[in-house]
Structure 1
């Protein structure tokens, strides 16, 4: 904009100079003055052409800025839409507990080797597997007869309840018996008694665990939810000894 203003002021100065020369034209001008007047007019014409060129460039820049403003406005609207429609349950990726981790490259492997063995042991012991939330495409793939009236949010609320039970159960199992109170010791022993060769190295809960650690009702509707989670490959059942164990996948 300052460039246009400079050209405009310069043109105004030239016009003022020509105006003074024209005012003096009532008198007979010498040849050199007439030549000077022609040079001024020619220079003014070139300045006007340059001025028009700058105005055209400014118009193009203004057009580009308006288009950019529209793009930014659309981005702002998209961000507000995403902010107002964030799902209550976001799927999370967790480390694998069954050895199905992706293959590491040499650099990643060397980084792992730098970790002290005692730290690795501590990390593995404190790790508790959790069930991933069900995605909307997965929910839509569930047959309607299986879903019934259970909504997407209700299904993932059940996932969180089961995760709560799993976390509470294995926190007790990971603790030393000396640090537990009488009730927790009884739970610890019950958890151990429920383990079988089929559940070794796996994370699982039974219905009593859900009752113990959550407010979720273990009823017919809960059984329907478990069927949906099996369909989505979030868990599988292992029966034996009068118990149904729900193993997290």
Structure 2
């Protein structure tokens, strides 16, 4: 055996012997009354320290969870900043909404119910039997902002354009009946047809218009004070105009001509 190995072995034996001596010494100290009280206090302190360490570990776990939640919140705030940037940089001018036009086949007018609107579809060629139905254009955000506050009341931009959708449905339903062949009309459609013809005047000839009775017939909206305010806004935005005087008032779609 080399001398270095022998020295390591002696050192290890001496270390173990020293630990045994310390253990025996501590055991003997624990038997003395004065030292036993001190050892009990040390044990109590160790127990308290252990409880504090457990609480500290729980607190660290909670802090880690809070930190993870804050990271997720920061990530979501980045998206919110983008939204705020878009909100603060809305273009001052939005493109005008173009007047749309729908083409209805004569055969479709005969086959469908008189009070249903014609659904738009891609048409490459226009058949010989056809009628054009043009719609009321939506108002733009600039136009809505230009409406006086006292006139808008609590109405929103979306509510105005939703009403325009309903008015367009009424216009389409009305003129589908007017374009329909009489021999294919049922009793209800025939009565409506005659009413539409009787409501025609020299002021409305060649123009799209609806009456209050058409609104009640084809629309789900109620003709109440709120709807009358919407009509006032549409007149202000030059979407509708009233012609004639006294009795029944036609609401003409401004700038849109009937194509026969």
**What TM-score does the superposition give when structure 2 sets the normalisation length?**
0.50
Tell me whether 1:203 sits opposite 2:208 in the alignment.
yes
Q: CA offset at residue 223 of structure 1?
A: 1.0
- Partner SS, residue 128 of structure 1: strand
The one-character-per-residue Cα deviations of 1:217-238 (angstroms, maximum 9, x if unpaired) are 0011111111100111101001
- Partner SS, residue 195 of structure 2: helix
Larger radius of gyration: 2
Q: Which runs of 5+ in 2 are unaligned?
A: 1-81, 88-94, 102-124, 255-260
Instruction: Tell me how far apart the structure 2 counterparts of residues 238 and 224 of structure 1 sit (CA, whole Å).
Output: 18
Name the Cα RMSD after superposition: 3.0
The residue number in structure 2 matching 1:166 is: 171
Q: Which runs of 5+ in 1 are unaligned?
A: 1-76, 83-89, 97-115
Q: CA offset at residue 155 of structure 1?
A: 0.6
Structure 2 matches for 1:110-149, cutoff 5 A? Answer: 122-123=129-130, 125=131, 127-149=132-154
Number of equivalent positions? 145
Q: CA offset at residue 185 of structure 1?
A: 0.4
Structure 2 matches for 1:3-42, cutoff 5 A? Answer: none
Instruction: Tell me how far apart the structure 2 counterparts of residues 242 and 143 of structure 1 sit (CA, whole Å).
Output: 29
Structure 2 matches for 1:1-249, cutoff 5 A? Answer: 92-94=97-99, 122-123=129-130, 125=131, 127-240=132-245, 242-249=247-254
Contact 2:97–2:140 under 8 Å retained in 1: no
Q: Could you say which structure has the higher helix fraction?
A: 1
Deviation beyond 6 Å, 4+ runs, structure 1:
none
